Chains A and B, each alone.
Chain A
């Protein structure tokens, strides 16, 4: 551990705002990239489920 306390860890030696904003934005983009295909797949399956139901009725 290169920091003495959790406070130190958050402060990052005066550069806390830069380091944490960089990590925050990047992790948000990473999460977005994982979420997008999963949500798209769910939407596709919902559409397909609706279509299958419609076909069964007719």
Chain B
């Protein structure tokens, strides 16, 4: 197998060029998919039999929760790449993904709590999914705090990579144990997402919304990574030329 593309990815200059070419398309895709998914879910999907219209929160809650987990997996993969191949770009990806993941966790938690009020009668129930999401938020805080605490750029990235990998190994164990704890203490009376009961008119907009959130995540990650790469490479000639080009384009 030809691995040059993989090692090319490690070159900041190449990454900057290619991501600049992809970014507009991804941004358009994110915008279109999110608008279509959310408007469809809000206005056109049929109401749910038991929850009425309050279930429409699902179209942001589930994509945000899904992406919050996917973001942690991305971080763990970037951490592995960074530790194994010592790729600087993976360091950038890992540290720039952490705040986005924390924000996605925040969205999932807030919408889950707001959804809980009409469904359960209280804003917060120690439900297995919400609790796992809260723990995931704490894991993100840990990675962000560790990254900020270590001043040396290289060792901070490596420390975050180790922590993200340890966390990623732990996440399935945490989720299983939280699920088990939850069934022990309160038999699940109401599942927040009943997969079987969803008709195609309901899950199709959900799928589109999930795809839209995926594109949104990639767009924000690329935006953050490009800035960070430009800052880190500020001594190299291509970055200097790029900054001068952009400064002149602005003035």
Contact = CB atoms under 8 A, between A and B. Distances in A.
In the complex they form, whether A and B have CB atoms below 8 Å apart is answered with yes
A12 B56 contact: yes
Interface in B70-105: 100, 103
Interface residues of B, number: 41
B54 A15 contact: yes
B57 A19 contact: yes
A14 B117 CA distance: 13
B153 interface: no
A21 B251 CA distance: 40
Contact of A37 (B45, B103, B220, B251): B220
Interface residues of A, number: 29
9 contacts: A2-B45, A13-B54, A18-B114, A19-B42, A30-B216, A33-B216, A44-B227, A45-B243, A49-B250
Given A45-B243, A45-B246, A25 B44 contact: no
Interface centre among A3, A18, A21, A44 (most CB of B within 10 A): A18
Interface of B: 34, 38, 42-47, 52-54, 56-57, 60-61, 64, 100, 103, 106-107, 110-111, 114-115, 117-118, 216, 219-220, 223-224, 226-227, 230-231, 243-244, 246-247, 250-251
Given A19-B56, A48-B243, A48-B247, A13 B227 contact: no
Contact of A9 (B43, B227, B231): B43
